[in-house]
Amino acid sequence: MAEPFNVACVQNCAGQDIEANITQSCQLIREAAGAGAELICLPEYFSCLYLDRSGFKLGGYTQDSHPAFTIFSALAEELGVWLLLGSLAIQAGPEQYYNRSYLLDNQGRRVAQYDKLHLFDVDLAAGESYRESDTIVAGDEAVLAATPWGLLGMSICYDLRFAALYRAMAQAGASFLTVPAAFTRTTGQAHWHALLRSRAIETGSYVFAPCQYGAHGDAESYGHSLIIDPWGEVLADAGEGPGFILCAVDPERVRQARAMIPALEHDREFKVVAPHRNLDRLSA
């Protein structure tokens, strides 16, 4: 089993100015590394996020031309830390993008990338409506990344509501689950803590969930970046405002939680009996 290590989640409030967003993120990464972080996680769309009447501004680039890669690859190597680039808008076609998360190792190399599977197409109360599928192309693969501490399962924001994704990654060997997000204030206040604790408890995994905070034009993110242990305990909560949270993470806690409640080994096949079929059975 791997040795304990330190994880940080950075919390920022991105706007339209990509250079300013990246500069602030770099400063927070340096502060987290200075505090001892070995893996540092950034939120969804940390480099650009803004909503107005014309739609979302996400700072999209082709993968090879995105300015974040050169900057953060060099920073990871300089500081000797692993970086989760929560997500960037990567061009998939004319006016179409992938919402893509990247993991960089401590030499600045791209270890893994993941395209968001589940797109946020919802209609909330008071006319609050989002259609992520208008500009984002959904991925079709779950991704696990190898790290010095164990396998890390990657996801993004709205994926959080699909428990089967996290169960599948844990059953494939993931000990750590990342959930970079820009969760809306409306849904965050109601569901953020409960859903993240549930994913940790159901899988016996650590959950690292960096989230943006504050207003991005007509959109507002909830903040409250979280680090949660495999028993569902919240180890750190960033509240609202810029900064980072830092925790020591012990991979042995994953083994212990899964040994006490080995639910990942207890799946059984079953059929869903609909009401009309249930009546047929009763009358047979």
- Note every long-range contact of 251-256, with CB atoms under 8 Å and residues 24 or more positions apart, other chains counting: 251/1, 251/2, 251/3, 251/4, 251/149, 251/150, 251/175, 252/1, 252/4, 253/206, 253/229, 254/150, 254/175, 254/204, 254/205, 254/206, 254/230, 255/1, 256/230
Q: Catalytic site residue 116?
A: yes
| CA pair distance 195, 201, nearest whole angstrom | 10
| CA pair distance 229, 254, nearest whole angstrom | 8
Radius of gyration of the chain (CA): 19
Active-site annotation holder among 48, 157, 211, 247:
157
Residue 126 burial (CB < 10 Å; 0-12/13-18/19+)? exposed
Q: Catalytic site residue 44?
A: yes
Q: Catalytic site residue 157?
A: yes
What residue type is 224 in one-letter code? H
| CA pair distance 11, 225, nearest whole angstrom | 7
Contact assessment for residue 200 and residue 206, using Cβ atoms and an 8 Å cutoff: yes
Which residues are 7's β-sheet partners?
Answer: 39, 247
| CA pair distance 43, 16, nearest whole angstrom | 15
Active-site annotation holder among 38, 116, 211, 220:
116
Active-site annotation holder among 13, 44, 211, 247:
44
Task: Return per-residue pLDDT of the chain as tens, 284 residues.
Answer: 689 999 999 999 999 999 999 999 999 999 999 999 999 999 999 999 999 988 889 999 999 999 999 999 999 999 999 999 999 999 999 889 999 999 999 999 999 999 999 999 999 998 889 999 999 999 999 999 999 999 999 999 999 999 999 999 999 999 999 999 999 999 999 999 999 999 999 999 999 999 999 999 999 999 999 999 999 999 999 999 999 999 999 999 999 999 999 999 999 999 998 887 665 665 55
Superfamily of domain 5-283: Carbon-nitrogen hydrolase (3.60.110.10)
Vertex 67 angle, CA 65 and 73, to 5°: 105
**Tokens standing for 9?**
């989640």
